[in-house]
Amino acid sequence: MSEVQQAYFDHAATTPTRPEVVAAMLPYLEHRWGNPSSLHVTGIRALEGVERARQHVARLLQAAPEEIVFTGSGTEADNHALIGAAHALRSTGDHIITSAVEHHAIHYTAAHLESLGLRVTYLPVDETGLVDPDAVRAAITDRTLLVSIMHANNEIGTIQPIAEIGAICRQKGVLFHTDAVQTVGHLPIDVHHMNIDLLSLSAHKLYGPKGVGALFLREGVNLTSYIHGGGQESGRRASTENVAGIVALGEAARLAGEEMEQEAAHATALRERIIHDLLRRVPDLILTGHPTRRLPNSASFCVPGLEGEAILLDLDEEGFAVSSGSACTSGVSEPSPTLLALGLPPDMARGAIRITVGRGNTGAEVDRLLAVFPRVVHRLREMSAHRPTLTEGLAHG
Ligand code: PLP
């Protein structure tokens, strides 16, 4: 397939790797390829890269470097938090609280723990996707070992009241984890002010490479190791470190910390234009998620009467990369559980479209998208209005 440059509006799926990040990681593939556990100079050079990255990631979260454990992804960090806590605290608890709108990395891990005999409470959300902190308080029992509520949702961008939920968990003496994969590098985070004990992040959502992430583990919180083997990461995550990937995450974190304010302002301005213009230009379009408490980069909608995938594919042909909110399993599009949790009917949820902007997007690209999107929706609606129903089709042979 030829490398056609699309206008990329799918930054919640992944972000392009910044050239500065690629430049920072290359020496660790070319010259500084040592094993950070080796005692010789070749090993020490690699170790220095890993430790510098740990400082950059820690600074972005207002954490201490020793509180950062590098992982192979955001998914692994989520698994580590839930499974590690369940094992470490099994003598005192067997109950986990999470929300109905978490990423699969949390939902499927929670389901795995349920299959091992733990109880999981999935808290509902309101029509904007918000979890009620009072519902968290009410759900905590003396058997609750962990509360895991995401910082911001990947499909609808809603930002949860994390500091408030964290304060309740702290008061009740329950560990609090947040999946911050969509927010680290995009929103200011202070793990101590926000009462967070465990936090997951992923490099490829902040202009780093795929296949590297981290778990923040508050000092004094001990999880049972989730990957068994060597003593890397102070015995908290076995396996030889992905040194180049970790260095890249560190550089991405450093740059994100420096540029967060201006990036957020840029994203918010583009996002607001997209939301306001599309709501005006596309009849019956529905904005999903919270009107104001949303990720700077995220505009998400439902287009009644159409499949999100059909819009995505037409926009793809027109040169735009966006996402539909539903997962496509063996050719059958299932409505997204997150959108159903907002109370949207399944037919409406099937029409989900997510547009997520990034640092490289320009006003001119947004202008083109705003011109093309209504045309695509109009064309698809015309087609579906004139398509024969199944029975009509059969009647005509
Ligand atoms: N959690 C959230 C909220 C995400 O959006 C994602 C990725 O889409 C993940 C977890 C998984 O991260 P990774 O792709 O690094 O495994």
Tens digits of per-residue pLDDT, 98-107? 999 999 999 9
Nearest to 101 by CA among 354, 340, 308: 340
Ligand 1 centre from 66 Cα, in Å?
Answer: 23
334 vs 198: which has the higher pLDDT? 198
Radius of gyration over every alpha carbon of the chain, rounded to an integer in angstroms: 22
Q: Which atom of ligand 1 is nearest to the CA of 13?
A: 8
The band of 174, judged by pLDDT with boundaries at 50, 70 and 90, is: very high
pLDDT of 226 reads 79
183 within 8 A of 296, measured Cβ to Cβ: no
Residue 385 pLDDT: 83
Distance CA 8, CA 31 (A): 33
- Nearest atom (ligand 1) to Cα of 204: 15
User: Nearest-CA neighbor of 118 among 155, 146, 137, 99?
Assistant: 146
Per-residue model confidence (pLDDT) at position 394: 43
- With cut-offs at 50, 70 and 90, classify the pLDDT of residue 387: low
Q: What is d(CA 365, CA 361) in angstroms, rounded to the nearest whole number?
A: 7
pLDDT at residue 3 greater than cutoff 80: no
Q: Is the CB of 133 under 6 A from ligand 1?
A: no
CA distance 15 to 307: 25
pLDDT digits (tens, 9 = 90+) for 250-270: 999 999 999 999 999 999 999
pTM of the predicted model as reported, rounded to 2 decimal places: 0.95
Confidence of residue 25 (pLDDT cuts 50, 70, 90): very high
- Answer yes or no: is the C-beta of 308 below 6 A from any ligand 1 atom: no
Ligand 1 contact, 150 CB (< 6 A): yes
For ligand 1, the distance from its centroid to the CA atom of residue 261, given in whole angstroms, is 23
Average pLDDT value over all residues in the chain: 94
| pLDDT computed for residue 384 by the predictor | 86
| pLDDT of 386 | 78
Residue 334's pLDDT is what?
82
**Cβ neighbours of residue 169 closer than 8 Å, sequence gap 6 or more:** 136, 140, 147, 175, 176, 195, 197
pLDDT band at residue 326 using 50, 70 and 90 as cut-offs: low
Q: What is the pLDDT of residues 335-363, one digit of tens each?
A: 899 999 999 999 999 999 999 999 999 99
- Give strand ranges (E) for the chain: 7-8, 68-71, 95-99, 119-123, 144-148, 175-179, 198-202, 213-217, 286-287, 298-302, 320-321, 323-324, 328-329, 332-333, 352-356
Report, as an integer, the average pLDDT of 144-158.
98
Mean pLDDT of 271-294: 97
Least trusted range by pLDDT, from 150-159, 220-229, 251-260: 220-229
pLDDT one-digit tens code per residue, 75-125: 999 999 999 999 999 999 999 999 999 999 999 999 999 999 999 999 999
Who's near 306: CB < 8 A, 6+ residues apart?
351, 377, 380, 381, 384
At residue 12's C-alpha, the angle toward residues 11 and 14, to 5°, is 60
Checking if the pLDDT of 31 tops 60, the result is yes
Check if 75 has its Cβ closer than 6 Å to any atom of ligand 1: yes
Cα(163) to centroid of ligand 1, in Å?
21
In Å, what is the CA distance from 188 to each residue of 8, 136, 179? Answer: 24, 23, 15
- Give the distance (Å) from ligand 1 centre to CA of residue 215: 13
pLDDT at position 332 over 60: no
- Tell me which residue has tokens 């609808």: 156
- pLDDT band with cut points at 50, 70 and 90 for residue 329: very low
Enter the tokens of residue 279: 């709501």
- Tell whether the torsion through CA atoms of 20, 23, 29 and 33 is positive or negative: negative
Beta bridge partners of 184: 187
User: Does 179 sit in the ligand 1 pocket, CB within 6 Å?
Assistant: yes
